[in-house]
């Protein structure tokens, strides 16, 4: 059976799931989204994802044309209809169809789209042996231009950095902010481990507040690790004992080399392995 896609109150087979070419989500990247994971048929931290979706929408003056309970039901119904237990859910809200001009006031009928599918972001070998990444020359958008805390449909900033990584033979790339500080990767938050302290850039470094990031901070504190959210530089990355990335799609993935420099002894470290196991228990619990 074809995957069923939810669009604004109805389900459509994947090949028939369409929106207007005049939708400002397509024309201008004008909209917001969330990427979520399901485990055993249950969405991981759905309420936190909906909180972030509503915050992103409010920040761009986009009215979501559904209540939160109705949208939560649509997400769960889409999972159930497609019989997906362990999968990935993409929740999208567009500005709606309008004119070819950018005026949002000339749009109508924002579209709410829910896609549930399976996902394998990275090969299993990367989880076992670690990733190699580079630092991209493309910096994160200046927060005074576009807040990185808005999870918008315009991902060109991240895509340009991703292309740099791919051209260097890496599947991920590290992005710095306008101050030259470590921000995040193209699709994941970054963590370092130094002398058993778990470090990650603060929100004001120009990052998205990741749902998995928050879960790892909670798990690390419960496990007794010192956790620091302070400004970090590439120097901190190069001299770290361990490095790993977090994201809804990636979950927790080790990094063993940055800019051709081995991190620590060049192997997946014990704190990373410990937090990865704790995260697995959390989501499977």
| Beta bridge partners of residue 175, listed in sequence order | 184
| DSSP 8-state assignment for residue 97 | B
In three-state secondary structure terms, 88 is strand
- Catalytic residue, candidates 151, 222, 257, 280: 151
Q: What is the DSSP-derived secondary structure letter of residue 33? A: E
Adjacent-strand bridge partners of 37:
88
Residue 203 CB: number of other CB atoms within 10 A? 14
Helix (H) or strand (E) holding 116: strand 112-117
Q: Is 151 a catalytic residue?
A: yes
Give the H/E segment covering residue 243.
Answer: strand 242-247
Cβ atoms within 10 Å, residue 74? 20
Phi, psi (degrees; rounded to nearest 5) at 280: -60, -40
The answer for residues whose C-beta is within 8 angstroms of residue 17's C-beta and 6 or more apart is 5, 7, 113
User: Which residues are known to be catalytic?
Assistant: 151
């Amino acid at each position: 059976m074809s995957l069923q896609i939810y669009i604004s109150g109805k389900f459509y087979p994947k090949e028939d799931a369409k929106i207007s070419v005049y939708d400002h989500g397509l024309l201008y990247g004008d909209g917001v989204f969330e990427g979520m994971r399901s485990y055993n048929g249950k969405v991981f931290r759905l309420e936190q994802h909906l909180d972030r979706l509503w915050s992103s929408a409010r920040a761009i003056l986009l009215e979501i044309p559904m209540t939160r309970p109705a949208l939560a039901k649509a997400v769960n119904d889409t999972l159930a209809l497609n019989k997906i237990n362990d999968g990935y859910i993409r929740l999208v809200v567009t500005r709606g169809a309008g004119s070819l001009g950018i005026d949002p006031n000339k749009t109508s009928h924002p579209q709410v789209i829910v896609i549930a599918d399976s996902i394998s972001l990275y090969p299993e070998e990367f989880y076992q042996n670690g990733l190699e990444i580079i630092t991209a020359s493309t910096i994160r958008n200046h927060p005074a231009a576009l807040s990185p805390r808005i999870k918008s449909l315009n991902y060109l900033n991240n895509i340009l950095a991703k292309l740099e990584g791919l051209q260097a033979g890496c599947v991920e790339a590290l992005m710095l902010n306008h101050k030259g500080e470590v921000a995040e990767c193209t699709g994941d938050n970054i963590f370092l481990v130094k002398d058993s302290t778990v470090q990650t850039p603060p929100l004001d470094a120009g990052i998205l507040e990741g749902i998995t990031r928050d879960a790892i901070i909670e798990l690390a504190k419960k496990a007794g690790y010192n956790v620091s959210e302070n400004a970090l530089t590439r120097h901190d990355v190069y001299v770290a004992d361990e490095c790993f990335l977090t994201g809804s799609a990636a979950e927790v993935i080790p990094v063993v080399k940055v800019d051709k420099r081995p991190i620590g002894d060049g192997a997946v470290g014990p704190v990373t392995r410990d937090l990865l196991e704790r995260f697995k228990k959390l989501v499977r619990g």
